[in-house]
Structure 1
């Protein structure tokens, strides 16, 4: 029990450091964590289809801007130094989780068909 608590505390510290480092890299290009999700995954694709058009447009613009900044070897701070983005804002991740739960439930309910 004590060993598990120590392990959880260490993992929490490492996770926070990783999140800070990742947040810095995302801020360099003006991206959000959700923008890194691969669109070819069925769950992500379905969540994007269900998302508000404004969310889809904003995601596309952030990705295009990041590609442009990377090509020019610039950072977002060069163009908008005062802009403060929430890199870990969840807009489609909640839908992705619901889709995964739905698919798991469907698989469990239809497990008898495999026999």
Structure 2
């Protein structure tokens, strides 16, 4: 069956959450938003493209930083309202220069930084 991004369930702003996960390690790297065109561009090019809500523009991950995300596989959840992007990540995924955006853990009621920026 051919894939059509229009078959996905987008929110009122035309967006769908996309979780990027390292295809080899299973590490969750980041979450960002996509619209139908960003999904289509990602599938067509193999370069992960998000929709920047702050800039109201397409954001090809790594286009300026060099921290490219290559799509290995796109998975759709059961409600078709969330995407899992299995990717190959070059360098850090987070704008803070960390491997993952999920670098703060709640442990025993306290927030703890668990990942340092990459050098």
Q: TM-score, normalised by structure 1?
A: 0.22
Q: Larger relative CO (CA 8 A, sep 6+): 1 or 2?
A: 1
- By percentage of residues, which structure has more strand? 2
Tell me the TM-score normalised to structure 2 length.
0.21
- Give 1 or 2: higher helix fraction: 1
